[in-house]
Amino acid sequence: GEDVEQSLFLSVREGDSSVINCTYTDSSSTYLYWYKQEPGAGLQLLTYIFSNMDMKQDQRLTVLLNKKDKHLSLRIADTQTGDSAIYFCAESFRYNTDKLIFGTGTRLQVFP
């Protein structure tokens, strides 16, 4: 079945790198996404990676995909206090179903 898991909390110092991890069970995903949710706000799409890629870099964000281990990570370089939020990974299976399957979310706390 489809299941996506993340660690619940991550705390980092401002200026350090953050690495948020995600594991998934269904290897038939087409795209994997990272969404950011700030307090009281909606889901902001940060970045995505096609399932046949290993890495994608987008400014301060680096996404790594290990298909063998079904592991996805999001690295945020030079983490700022404004990066404090909940980060969700999500899978899509575009050719089989419309829905996104979301992870549990990781709350990132950045302290000065």
Partner 1 sequence: EPEVTQTPSHQVTQMGQEVILRCVPISNHLYFYWYRQILGQKVEFLVSFYNNEISEKSEIFDDQFSVERPDGSNFTLKIRSTKLEDSAMYFCASSEGSTKIETQYFGPGTRLLVL
Nearer to partner 1, 79 or 85 (CB): 85
- Chain positions contacting partner 1, by CB under 8 A: 31, 33, 35, 41-45, 48, 50, 88, 90, 92, 94, 97-105
Please check whether residue 22 is in contact with residue 9, taking contact to mean a CB–CB distance below 8 angstroms. no
Nearer to partner 1, 79 or 87 (CB): 87
Residue 39 CB, shortest distance to partner 1, in Å, is: 12
Residue 52 CB, shortest distance to partner 1, in Å, is: 13
Nearer to partner 1, 100 or 108 (CB): 100
The distance in angstroms from the start CA to the end CA of the chain is: 41
Pairing verdict, β 100-102 and 31-37: unpaired
